[in-house]
A and B are shown apart, each in its own frame.
Chain A
Amino acid sequence: MPDHIKPLEKDSKVRKLSGEQTGKSLVPELVKYLGPIILVQLVFVLAPLAIILLFSLLKTGAYGKIIYAFTLDNYVKLIDGGYGMVFLKSFFYAVQTNFMCILISYPLAYYIARYGKRWKMFFIFMIIIPSWTAYIVRLYALKTLVGSNGLINSWLMGFGLIDAPIQFLYTPLAVSVGLVYTWLPFMVLPLFAAMEGLDSSMWEAAEDLGATPFRRFVRITLPLTRGGLLAGTILVMIPALGDWLVPHLLGGSKVMMAGMVVAHKFTTTGDIPAGSCMATALASILLLVLYFVIKWGGREALEQSL
């Protein structure tokens, strides 16, 4: 929004016509246009978050019955009941996923932006489709491909490379691969958007002046695509941190992640206070990540990459 380039002084009529509301007339306009969303936000976004915060401070009795008494037990259990490790591990998986996605996305986005030519839109479309396909379908597809009697194993056995199927499903590696598979498009797209806006003569100039590829990346590409990188990080790291289906479907019960524990507490054991506590903890980590990313300038890129 080029607000800063608008003329500074305007008479009140121009101001009114151009829709810049000031003083008294602002409130009714606010209510008219933003009242509904504010209401929705308060009732269906903020109130539910406040409610899980509240429930996370309650006790669970026998058979998942909630006892309305204040306690910090859930948080204590979270830290030393083994779940602390689960959170730490999830965080590790999320960082690893983000790192792998960055590693793959930079060359890919750069290649499409600089050498895609008239196929550019097609290449990008082929990244957008997976990002919009129901992720349960994509995970099912991955599982079908790599399962112990899936295509990869039967090919490997067919060629005589292995005698027995490799057990890939239900290993930590499967979870790592699954997370990258699921969230990769969400790193490629904002990075591509950031690179697309750049003038390719910059790289050419640097190349002519003898900069090495590494130096070009560090001095040109990286600083100029920072917004895209931050947006991609929000879109990849946060969902990866709270992912439920990937560890559930690909990790079996072998690999525990925070999102899976939350889902388990709610959908299987029905332990609302403990589940709320974990969801709250997850949400706080997220808010922290979000705060830093926005502070470092990722907001605009994030909103645009939607």
Chain B
Amino acid sequence: MSPRIWFLRIVSILAYIFLWAPVIVIIVFSFSANKFGIRWEGFTMQWYYKLLENEAVWDACIRSLVIASVTVVVSTALGTLTAYGLYKLKFRGKMLLRTSILLPIVMPEVVTASALLVFFIKATPLTLGYPTIIIAHIVFSTPLAVFVILGRMQRVDWAWEEAAMDLGATRIRAFRRVIGPVLLPGIAGAAALIFPWSFDDFVITYFVAGIGNTTLPVYIFSQLRHGSSPVVNVIGTLFILFTLASLLLFMLVEKRSRAKGM
């Protein structure tokens, strides 16, 4: 092997260590008996049992799940409709619309967050809580759905739609019976990505949540001022497993749709 390949290999290994070491450390320490969660003092599952009894965590977790579920449904539906329109229609200002749709995800989170916060408290009668959190999550999740589904639409054989419409199906019916089912894996994939995207968000949620509406990431933040703790290690571990599961689901759906010949 040439030294050049060794150089590439060493840089890569160091990069993986850099990305993964901290994460692996908290996973390992979530099983450590040390009560500050910062060193290894023998195996225990007690922090996992402690978590089950922790009502604040349950409360935050349920709130996060409700918000993510609503966000997934609305954003995926809106995203599908939008992607269809963007793919099918040609009009002036399309590029402008596409750029505008990208804005909420390319902007630094604090900008989106503060703009939404001022908007909610000064221009709407809404009180900070579920409605504002959910609207904010839909705002930053929909772009993701639009572009994931749009990417999938480029792989669809649109002749099927033409054939269906040629045989007298309306556009809606053609979508429901022909294109919809073909696109379904792409739509499901988008949903699998949006769920953790919404569930994990901290910055925007923290701004628009108001007092007492703690989601799981906000709970972690509130615990951070006490330094490291085994319970946070456990929550962190579960977050990583949850991300892993969502991504595996996404890839499974993706693989299926490739196998179907898309």
Name the residue on A nearest B238 (C-beta): A137
Q: Give B91-116 as 1s and 0s: 1 = Cβ < 8 Å from A's Cβ atoms.
A: 10000011111111111111111111
Indicate whether A211 reaches chain B with its CB closer than 8 angstroms. no
CA distance A275 to B122 in the complex (A): 14
Residues of A with C-beta under 8 A to B221: 136
A304 to chain B, nearest CB (A): 7
B197 to chain A, nearest CB (A): 8
Indicate whether B206 reaches chain A with its CB closer than 8 angstroms. yes
The answer on a CB contact under 8 Å between B123 and A47 is: yes
Q: Quick one: given A37-B101, A110-B8, A154-B39, are A145 and B114 in contact (CB under 8 Å)?
A: no
Count contacts between A and B, CB distance < 8 Å.
273
Stretch at the interface among B19-27, B45-53, B54-62, B181-189: B19-27
CA distance A184 to B88 in the complex (A): 36
Contact of A107 among B11, B16, B166 (CB under 8 A): B11
Contact of B123 among A51, A275, A304 (CB under 8 A): A51
Q: Quick one: given A48-B118, A132-B246, are A18 and B158 in contact (CB under 8 Å)?
A: yes
Residues of B with C-beta under 8 A to A144: 22, 25-26, 29, 37-38, 228, 233
CA distance A138 to B122 in the complex (A): 34
Q: Give B26-41 as 1s and 0s: 1 = Cβ < 8 Å from A's Cβ atoms.
A: 1001000000111100
Q: How many residues on B have C-beta within 8 angstroms of the other chain's C-beta atoms?
A: 103
Chain A residues at the B interface, C-beta cutoff of 8 Å: 1, 17-21, 26, 29-30, 32-34, 36-38, 40-41, 44-49, 51-52, 55, 104, 107-108, 110-112, 115, 125-130, 132-138, 140-147, 149-151, 154, 181, 184-185, 188, 213, 234-235, 238-239, 241-245, 249, 259, 262-263, 266-267, 272, 275-276, 279, 282-283, 286, 290, 294, 299, 302-304, 306
Chain B residues at the A interface, C-beta cutoff of 8 Å: 4-5, 7-9, 11-12, 15-16, 18-23, 25-26, 29, 36-39, 78, 81-82, 84-91, 97-119, 122-123, 135, 138-139, 142-144, 146-148, 150-151, 154, 158, 161-162, 165-166, 171, 193, 196-197, 199-203, 206-207, 217, 220-221, 224, 227-228, 232-233, 235-236, 239-240, 243-244, 246-247, 251
